[in-house]
Amino acid sequence: MSTRTLISPAQLARPRGKLVYWIVFAVIVGGFTLVFLGPLYWLVSSGFKNPQEVIQTPPTLVPGSFEPANYTRAWEVMDLAKLLFNTLYYAFGALAFQLVLDVAAAYSLSKLRPVFGKAVLGMMLATLMIPATVLVVPQYLTVLDVPVVERNLLNSPWAIWLPSVTNAFNIFLLKRFFDSIPGELLDAASIDGASPMRTLRSIVLPISRPILGVVSIFAVVGVWKDFLWPMLTLPDPAKQTLNVGIYSLSNGVPVNVLIAALTIASIPTLLIFLIFQRNIMSGLTAGGLKG
Amino acid sequence: MSAPSLTPSKTGNSLEVQPRSARPGPQGGRLARSLRRNLTAHGFLVGAVVCFALFSWYPMVREFLLAFQKTEDGTVSWVGLDNLVTVFNDPAFWQAWRNTLMFTLLALVLGFAVPFVVAVTINEFRHGKGYLRMLVYLPVMLPPVASVLLFKYLYDPGYGLLNEVFDAFGLPAQQWLQDPDVSLLAVVVASTWMNMGGATLIYLAALQGIPGELYEAAELDGAGLLRKIWHVTIPQTRLILSLMLLMQVIATMQVFVEPFLLTGGAGPEGSTTTVVYLIYQYAFSFNNYGAAAALGLLLLVLLAGFSAAYVKLSRAEDE
């Protein structure tokens, strides 16, 4: 059961249509596999080559040498366990902050509707108009000396967590989802004496699971993929993320070890992708456009 | 805000429920209740607002101030347009803008047109759609350092795979990242590979929303493949195409990570210096925050038009 698309089914059913279809199909599938999986194959296989083979011309398509020890060396030399732990710590910390603070804010703006709520939402959405890279410099200066509390957050996980909350797009997505929850449902709860917190916990959150999933995945992946901000705010090698740590050590290790490290660094997000493919794709198309 | 007038729901609440406004609150007074309701609501809001205030709104104001200030030995002084003059007189200024515009243009040709053609093609397939969708989106999930350093390895003039492939087709080997004539293109190709998945999936979703009858009607009028694309597919996806175009201009004008990791930022003879790289250099290599902010302000002003158009269009789409 498929919907009608560009090419008519009748045209496809003809022998010539069938032939063209299968030729185009084969070319695209082959080409895509080559273009998108090819580099990944190259990454994984080069990670198994010995130091001579990895920089040999012409390169070998199938590794002639097999050195899984590259992976263990990469793990040790680049201290990937630490980098991996740091990145997980920042990513899930940011996720927790975003889930608690952004969900609470979106709930308040959508259902509790305080005075000035509209103005606050407007100011949050206005930040989407400012190119993110332009704000990096003043944000960095703010981290060096946070106003009011007068703290320097350099090399502290807070430098990742707190700014991650200022994700106006997430708040917008959540608020739009909460807006679609019928008010009668919440009124019924409040008449039954449920506090706003209780209503949020027992009614709003269970209904909102799909959108929470999408927001969570993008929150984690966002921190995982970020480069410039963690490079600036976490200069201490002991505090670095995978991206920054591997980059700063990339010139000091043999090519095959570096490539093995890149492979290891890619595994977590690839796993997330393979597991949550459906959620990611629906999130992209549901909210990917509106800013 | 209208007071809800509900009859008790299926719960066994036997109390007679009156509209909220008429019900006497525990502390009496309408005002007290409204105050309490607002306090709760603001309580839910305050965490995010504090974060926004510290890390978004305050930096936004500061960006404007910094552009007209100078910090020397910890003392801040107003310097008017001096920072802008410094930025304009930098020999790298025009080159950075030229490179950034060129990058944007190339990225649009590759990153805007290619995903659309790919999406239109994939959408025709009766098989393997899920596999192809997964393939194009795979690179988006990789940490940028992994994809960029992988490309660096593929581009290597000595042992890179790409020159080997070129050789197999009888094409001359290139100094991909070392030759100022091709380095920008090499960066664009890597960047497109890394990022085109998102756009492709969004186009695919949009294509699925086109009513099939439109194609049937076009066929009855004798339209061929190209005319169907021109008169049905493109008009039907016009809004999303324009949104993606604006979004890509906004994103690619801010390109930083790809050239920074591939060529160290500036590249051979400054051929991959971008505006954001220049901002980065002012701020973090020369400690000249004023110049960085001034250049940032120029970029902001330029992109503001695109952002405004984007917001306007996405409102239209919401309706």
Distance of CA B293 to the CA centre of its chain: 21
Kindly report, residue by residue over A208-232, the tens digit of the pLDDT: 988 898 889 889 989 999 999 999 9
Whether A36 maps to a domain, the answer reads: yes
Instruction: Mark whether A53 and A167 lie in a shared domain.
Output: no
Chain A contact for B224, CB < 8 A?
no
Whether A134 maps to a domain, the answer reads: yes
pLDDT at position B2 is 37
Q: How far apart are CA A77 and CA A98, in angstroms?
A: 34
Whether the per-residue pLDDT at B3 is higher than 90: the answer is no
Q: Predicted confidence band at B5 (pLDDT cuts at 50, 70, 90)? A: very low
Instruction: Mark whether A66 and A101 lie in a shared domain.
Output: no
pLDDT at position A214 is 85
Instruction: Mark whether A170 and A39 lie in a shared domain.
Output: no
| Tokens matching residue A174 | 């959540």
Q: Predicted confidence band at A1 (pLDDT cuts at 50, 70, 90)? A: very low
In terms of pLDDT, which residue wins out, A267 or A13?
Answer: A267
Mean pLDDT score across all residues of chain A: 89
Instruction: Mark whether A115 and A36 lie in a shared domain.
Output: no
Q: How far apart are CA A174 and CA A106, in angstroms?
A: 6
Domains of chain B: 28-66 (no CATH), 85-318 (1.10.3720.10)
pLDDT at position B73 is 75
Q: Predicted confidence band at B318 (pLDDT cuts at 50, 70, 90)? A: low
Kindly report, residue by residue over B178-205, the tens digit of the pLDDT: 888 888 899 999 999 998 888 898 898 8
Instruction: Mark whether A212 and A105 lie in a shared domain.
Output: yes
* Predicted complex: ipTM over 0.90: no
Q: Predicted confidence band at B268 (pLDDT cuts at 50, 70, 90)? A: confident
In terms of pLDDT, which residue wins out, B265 or B147?
Answer: B147
* Closest CB from A108, A165, A227 relative to B144: A227
Whether A185 maps to a domain, the answer reads: yes
- Residues B36-41 have a mean pLDDT of 86
End-to-end CA distance of chain A: 34
Whether the per-residue pLDDT at B274 is higher than 50: the answer is yes
Whether A3 maps to a domain, the answer reads: no
Quick check: A135 and B145 CB within 8 A? no
pLDDT at position B28 is 61
Instruction: Mark whether A27 and A126 lie in a shared domain.
Output: no
Q: How far apart are CA A232 and CA A218, in angstroms?
A: 22
Percent of chain B with pLDDT over 90: 37
Whether A253 maps to a domain, the answer reads: yes
Nearest to B257 by CA among A262, A231, A167: A231
Chain A contact for B286, CB < 8 A?
no
Nearest CA in chain A to B212: A4
- Residues B129-150 have a mean pLDDT of 91
Quick check: B55 and A184 CB within 8 A? no
Q: Predicted confidence band at B317 (pLDDT cuts at 50, 70, 90)? A: low
In terms of pLDDT, which residue wins out, A257 or B34?
Answer: A257
Q: B252-275: b or e for each residue (b if 16 or more CB lie within 10 Å)? A: bbbbbbbbbbbbebbbbebbbbbb
Whether A248 maps to a domain, the answer reads: yes
Whether A1 maps to a domain, the answer reads: no
Chain B contact for A28, CB < 8 A?
yes
Kindly report, residue by residue over B56-69, the tens digit of the pLDDT: 999 999 999 999 99
Confidence (pTM)? 0.86
CA atoms within 13 A on the CB side of B78: 3
Instruction: Mark whether A255 and A280 lie in a shared domain.
Output: yes
Percent of chain A with pLDDT over 90: 48
Q: How far apart are CA A230 and CA A156, in angstroms?
A: 10
Q: Which of residues 67-106 of A touch B (CB under 8 A)?
A: 100-102, 104-105
Cβ contacts (< 8 Å) between B20 and chain A: which residues?
187
By residue range, what is the domain housing residue A281?
78-287
- Residues B98-104 have a mean pLDDT of 93
Provide the H-helix boundaries in chain B: 30-52, 58-66, 82-89, 91-108, 114-124, 129-141, 144-155, 161-168, 183-208, 212-220, 225-228, 234-236, 238-252, 257-263, 275-284, 289-318
